Amino acid sequence: MTIEPTAQQAAALFESVYGGAPAGLWAAPGRVNVIGEHTDYNAGFVLPMAIDKYTVAAAAPRRDGVLRMVSTAGGGSAVEIALDQLTPGNPRGWTRYPAGVAWALGGAGVLPQTFGGADIAFASEVPVGSGLSSSAALECSTGLALAGVAGANISPAELARLAQYAENAYAGIPCGPLDQLASAFGADGAVLFIDTRTFSINVYPFDLADAGLTLLVINTRVSHDNAESGYQDRRTTCEKAAEVLGVAALRDLTSADLPQARAQLDEKAFRRVRHVVTEDDRVERFVNLLNLGPLTGPRLNAAGELLTASHVSLRDDYEVSCAELDTVVDAALRGGAHGARMTGGGFGGSAIALVSQDRVDKVSEAVLAALPQAEIFQAVAARGAHRFA
């Protein structure tokens, strides 16, 4: 997929609303997390990839200290707020994400004191509520656009850090760093092995086509909102469990520690811990498979088993799946997928399936027979946030 149509939409919206051409276009992708779910806020391991669905921000500077925001998905009316009125909780709705980024960049000194505001128009191909990080794509495109029109520099690491901070502190979403890191650091044909304690990132080739494979994304179209779901409850349970078990984070535990954890925790807390510990292990095992070469033969079977085991753990131990996600995962496996799992925070959103290219139609047919509303597309590992024009 090319960014060009989305960029044209953003530029056209900008001109129609603001009456002139933008100073530039900045793009940031959504992401698929291949494996490693709900481990990022436990200082653990994740393996995401940016995908070729982008949010594009068309922007130009202002001189009056005002931020104006409009989106193709927001009804066409611009929301306006003075920079000195930016405060967590104001404004509400979708604009709290870009507004929060402006607030975070200003507070961190990325934007100069002379920064006079900006007009921004957004267009996006990242489905909202799909578990593919539409918010991170919106935040990272905003961060690049604001820095760009202000003549400031921002590194991918700082972009990811401040975008996450904006989502946590301004929008009130208690997400970990996975989404913003994936959007900022994404690479063509590669996955990112991220240690969320140290923020170290190792890039691994993930050109599935060379192995005759593809990664199907199955959007259930069941919308989720982490702010209103059980996300915070899961995070709080993990933090309390780590305290009881005497570790800085659940990442510090191994499978050998689980019997002792079972003795010290109630059943629900133990199951949450067991998911995190085994999921971290699955990420490392998946990366080891990538180190050995293309996913073919026994390596492909092992990779598929890890994906499916991840879903079972998320469904049974972490309890963040839902009926629709379970339905499409089961259907994909019946259709011949090597492995399948929900991806993202859960409570709706999307699943992924690792599929041989000659089985794509069969798997898709099985999924649509089980859940006709599903949207299915092939994900391609793509470039991270960047200036487009």
The residues annotated as belonging to the active site are 179
The region that residue 160 occupies, defined by phi over 0 for left and psi between -120 and 50 for alpha, beta otherwise, is alpha
Beta bridge partners of 319: none
Report the C-alpha gap between 17 and 14 in whole angstroms: 5
**Cβ distance 104 to 120 under 8 Å?**
no
3-class DSSP string for the chain: CCCHHHHHHHHHHHHHHHCCCCCEEEEEEEEEEEECCCCHHHCCEEEEEEEEEEEEEEEEECCCCEEEEEECCCCCCCEEEEHHHCECCECCHHHHHHHHHHHHHHHCCCCCCCCCEEEEEEEECCCCCCCCCHHHHHHHHHHHHHHHHHCCCCCHHHHHHHHHHHHHHHCCCCCCCHHHHHHHHCCCCEEEEEECCCCEEEEEECCHHHHCEEEEEEECCCCCCCCCCCHHHHHHHHHHHHHHHCCCCHHHCCHHHHHHHHHHCCHHHHHHHHHHHHHHHHHHHHHHHHHHCCCCHHHHHHHHHHHHHHHHHHHHCCCCCCHHHHHHHHHHHHCCCCEEEEECCCCCCEEEEEEEHHHHHHHHHHHHHHCCCCEEEEECECCCCEECC
Residue 177 neighbours by CB distance under 10 Å: 22
**Cβ distance 172 to 20 under 8 Å?**
no
**Cβ distance 143 to 386 under 8 Å?**
no
